Amino acid sequence: MKKILKIALVAVAALAILLIGAAAVISATFDPNDYKPLIIRQVQEKKQRTLVIPGDIKLSFFPKLGADLGKLSLSEHGGAGEFAAVDHAKVSLALFPLLRRQLVVDHVQVDGLRVSVKRFKDGTTSIDDLLSKDEKGGQALRFDIDGVRVSNARLRYDDRQQDRVIDIDRLALDTGRLADGAASKLKVTAALKVDHPKVDADISLNTGFRVDLAAGRYAVNGLDADIKGALLDFRDLALKLGGNADLAPAAKRFSLEDIKINGTARQADGTLELSLAVPRLAVTDRKVEGGKLDGQVKSSGKERQLGATFSMPSFDGTPAAFRIPALSLDAFLRDAGTDVSAKISGALAGDIEKLSLSSPQLAMRLSGKNAGKAVEGNITTSLAADLGRQVIDLPAMSLQLALPTDGGSLSLKSKGSMNLNLDKHSLASAFTGTLDDSAFDAKIGMTAFSPPAFRFDIGIDKLDLDRYQSRPPADAPQPAKPQADAAADKPIDVSALKSLHAEGSLRVGAFKVRNLRGTNLSAQLHSAGGEARLGPIAAELYGGRLAGEASVAATTPARVSMRQALSGIDVGPLLKDFTGKNMLDGRGNVQLDVRGSGATTAQIKRALDGSARVELKDGAVRGINLAKVIRDAKAKIGVIRGGEAPQSGVSSENEKTDFSDLSASVRIANGIAHNDDLSVKSPLLRIGGAGDIDLGADKLDYLVKATVVSSLQGQGGPELEALKGLTVPVKLSGPFSSIQWHIDFAGLASELARQKVDEKKEEVRSRAQKAIDEQKGKVQEQIQDKLKGLFGR
């Protein structure tokens, strides 16, 4: 025994001496830097990439064989740009296992790693050549790495197909032993940034794991992961994940145990909390089984709370046919005026191999109150989901909803279908039904989810929007003007337009809005880039047609514009329905082109710019009867110089001034509408005028000049025969609700004086002409007498 031990010791000593000698010889005669050109050339020839090793490769021997590589860099395919680089890399190997063709790496250290990977629009990547398997490999070496340490790493994934950039920065990774089938540990910390969807978070992870390459099995145990930062619109995110997993993809087998997810986050208007517990979920090629699943999500703000709890009982089955007998979800919404709950229930069946889910019927029940009014509804649908294709079909939906409105309630009954494609970020739906006593058909879809982009095509046979607006009781007192002014100064919120992308059309057979009535309405909506444009708009109303467009922009302040053309319109009923006042009668055309900006309705009115024009025939201006005013003023004309008080009054719908033609154009600047070309014609009068309308203050300052013409037909014609040719100025002023008028007697006196002067001039001219004619006759007679004497006749 002693002899054997002695021989063994001698052999070991001899081997050690041999290895030390070999190492000394290799160290003295072998320089790895001599092979740098060969390595660089082979990389260039086989991968068309440029490898750069600027420093010397340094070797080390006992107790471990190692190489200090220093800095390294590798170019993109074809040599354009840098693909990867390392500030410092060091690898140490166990020497003896190499003799048995086993690769036992003692330790790997990498510092300052930088890698940039691109996926192009056609789906190819910048590392496809590195992943190719066209090269024949030699005999595989067994690997056994005692540990890997990576520090200060930075990885970038530029996904041009999805328009997304993922950055992993400050990556630090530390592992235990890495060997086939060996239990190990992993610790990772990193900073993650994604531009779409927006992510900015710090990640830390500790877990045990085991990799069995021969069996194709991967296990994670004792996972403890934390994510902190910002996600989408959430900040102060704190997400914790724990549990165990065992996966064997080739064998189609995996299991999850004790999975727990808990998280909190903040939004601008509150906090979000969520939790999920999965005690067990196991899938094999023959069986599927799961324990009861429970979860909760809750959003709490200063003014609103929204939450849901969901549960799924234990279930089992086969991968091709498993069934969840009773899925349950309870949700709620609460704020100052709302307390609504929803309950979703139903059964699910699935096929794991085909990644599909189906349900004959899922049902949702709505109940609660909004603004003190009842909210009720039922929604049912069948379900067919292909998770592999990321397609969800709801082929048979039925909706019955009773929703409160300002004017009462809204009853919606509809049937249709919906298709959701998560891969293409699209949604398509088609519904028909009734909205109270209106029948509709609607196609509504989305072409993008982030930001959402909507498409729609809606047709309604009739729509009365006024029925959904609040109406004061008939005996309710009219609101005071300060209250109306306060409503006009209420800020306009158009911020929703900043994220609204929509395109669609609306058709309504008959409509009523703000008491305006019309038929055959059609309108197109286009909203993008913070601006919504409605147009072209077309409708038939009050015996004529409307055509135009309008737009609203979510700028600061908000910007609005409108262009409308009304042709052949009967303006009397239109104004009566819209304003409740009978101000103007007649049929004709109206053009309007205005724009303005402001944070409130009052500010927009005060900032309006643009133009307008009106042309009417066979109508009347209500509120004043100019013929009557002139007739009543007749008695005062003779005593104007005696100091009589000017005649005046307040407009009344019972008074009117008839006309056969009316035309006027308006220029609008800074909320002031100016007109100077009013032309009104009637058998008795010719009316002109000029003045301003203050749209912001709802006031009028206008001077009308009415001239009595020679025709004695029409309103009070015979009584005004004596005033023929006289122009009577009438001043209009005050708010639209109570326009005041008075005759400008000073102007009338000037006009009357001018008329008298003109009459005197005409009388003198007539007398002079008569005298001239008489003298001319006498001279002619004398000349004839002289001629008779001259010729003896």
Instruction: Work out the average pLDDT over 577-584.
Output: 82
- Bridge partners, residue 241, by sequence: 225, 261
Q: Where are the beta strands (DSSP E) in 599-708?
A: 609-623, 648-650, 652-669, 672-681, 685-694, 699-708
Q: What stretch of H or E contains 173?
A: strand 164-175
Is 562 inside a domain boundary? yes
pLDDT, tens digit (0-9, with 9 covering 90-100), for 313-368: 888 888 788 888 888 999 999 888 889 999 999 988 888 778 899 999 999 999 99
Q: What stretch of H or E contains 152?
A: strand 148-159
Tell me: cis bond preceding 491? Omega within 30 of 0 counts.
no
Instruction: Work out the average pLDDT over 732-741.
Output: 80
Is residue 755 predicted with pLDDT exceeding 70? no
Mean residue pLDDT of the chain comes to: 82
pLDDT, tens digit (0-9, with 9 covering 90-100), for 183-231: 999 999 999 999 988 899 999 999 999 999 888 899 999 999 999 999 8
- Sorting pLDDT into bands at 50, 70 and 90, what band is 162? confident
Q: What is the pLDDT of residue 6?
A: 40
Number of neighbours of residue 336 by Cβ within 10 angstroms: 8
Asked if residues 394 and 416 have their Cβ atoms less than 8 Å apart, the reply is: no
Is residue 782 predicted with pLDDT exceeding 60? no
Instruction: Work out the average pLDDT over 149-176.
Output: 92
- Sorting pLDDT into bands at 50, 70 and 90, what band is 69? confident
List Cα–Cα distances, 589 to 41, 54, 539, 613, 614, in angstroms: 84, 84, 15, 8, 6
- Look at residues 294, 297, 298, 330 and name the one whose alpha carbon lies nearest to residue 312: 294
Q: What is the pLDDT of residue 478?
A: 53
**Dist CA 449 CA 446 (whole Å):** 7
**Dist CA 618 CA 340 (whole Å):** 57
pLDDT, tens digit (0-9, with 9 covering 90-100), for 8-19: 333 333 434 344
**Dist CA 788 CA 313 (whole Å):** 144
The more confident residue out of 286 and 427 is 427
Which residue range is the domain that position 452 belongs to?
438-471+487-753
**What percent of the chain is modeled with pLDDT above 90?**
41
Q: What is the pLDDT of residue 16?
A: 41
Is 658 inside a domain boundary? yes
pLDDT, tens digit (0-9, with 9 covering 90-100), for 702-729: 998 888 775 444 445 555 565 666 777 8
Is residue 480 predicted with pLDDT exceeding 60? no
Q: What is the pLDDT of residue 487?
A: 53
Is 697 inside a domain boundary? yes
Q: What stretch of H or E contains 767?
A: helix 745-791
Task: Tell me which of 148-157, 410-419, 618-627, 632-641 is least confident.
Answer: 632-641
The more confident residue out of 481 and 402 is 402
The number of distinct structural domains making up the chain is: 1
Instruction: Work out the average pLDDT over 433-447.
Output: 95
Task: Tell me which of 40-44, 157-161, 676-680 is least confident.
Answer: 40-44
**Dist CA 86 CA 678 (whole Å):** 83
pLDDT, tens digit (0-9, with 9 covering 90-100), for 654-697: 678 888 999 999 999 999 999 999 999 988 888 899 999 998 88
- Sorting pLDDT into bands at 50, 70 and 90, what band is 28? very low
pLDDT, tens digit (0-9, with 9 covering 90-100), for 74-117: 888 887 788 889 999 888 876 666 666 565 667 888 999 999 99
Is 566 inside a domain boundary? yes
Q: What is the pLDDT of residue 624?
A: 77
Is 332 inside a domain boundary? no
Is 116 inside a domain boundary? no
Tokens describing residue 398? 């039925």
Instruction: Work out the average pLDDT over 475-482.
Output: 51
pLDDT, tens digit (0-9, with 9 covering 90-100), for 600-650: 988 999 999 999 999 999 998 887 777 777 766 665 655 544 444 445 555
Is 117 inside a domain boundary? no
Q: What is the pLDDT of residue 472?
A: 58
- Bridge partners, residue 189, by sequence: 172, 204
* Helices (runs of H) and strands (runs of E) counted in the chain: 8, 43
Residue in the block written with tokens 């994220």? 499
**Dist CA 192 CA 170 (whole Å):** 9
**What percent of the chain is modeled with pLDDT above 70?**
78
**Dist CA 436 CA 605 (whole Å):** 36
CB-based burial, 723-756: b 16+ in 10 Å, e otherwise: beebbbbbbbeeebeebebbbbbebbeebbeeee
Q: φ, ψ for residue 284 (rounded to 5)?
A: -125, 180
**Dist CA 91 CA 60 (whole Å):** 10
Q: What is the pLDDT of residue 412?
A: 93
Q: Where are the beta strands (DSSP E) in 268-390?
A: 270-283, 288-290, 293-301, 304-312, 315-318, 321-335, 338-351, 356-370, 373-386
Is 587 inside a domain boundary? yes
- Bridge partners, residue 511, by sequence: 463, 518
- Bridge partners, residue 364, by sequence: 344, 379
Asked if residues 354 and 364 have their Cβ atoms less than 8 Å apart, the reply is: no
Q: What is the pLDDT of residue 445?
A: 96
Q: What is the pLDDT of residue 752?
A: 61
Is residue 517 predicted with pLDDT exceeding 60? yes
**Dist CA 591 CA 782 (whole Å):** 71
Q: What is the pLDDT of residue 739?
A: 78
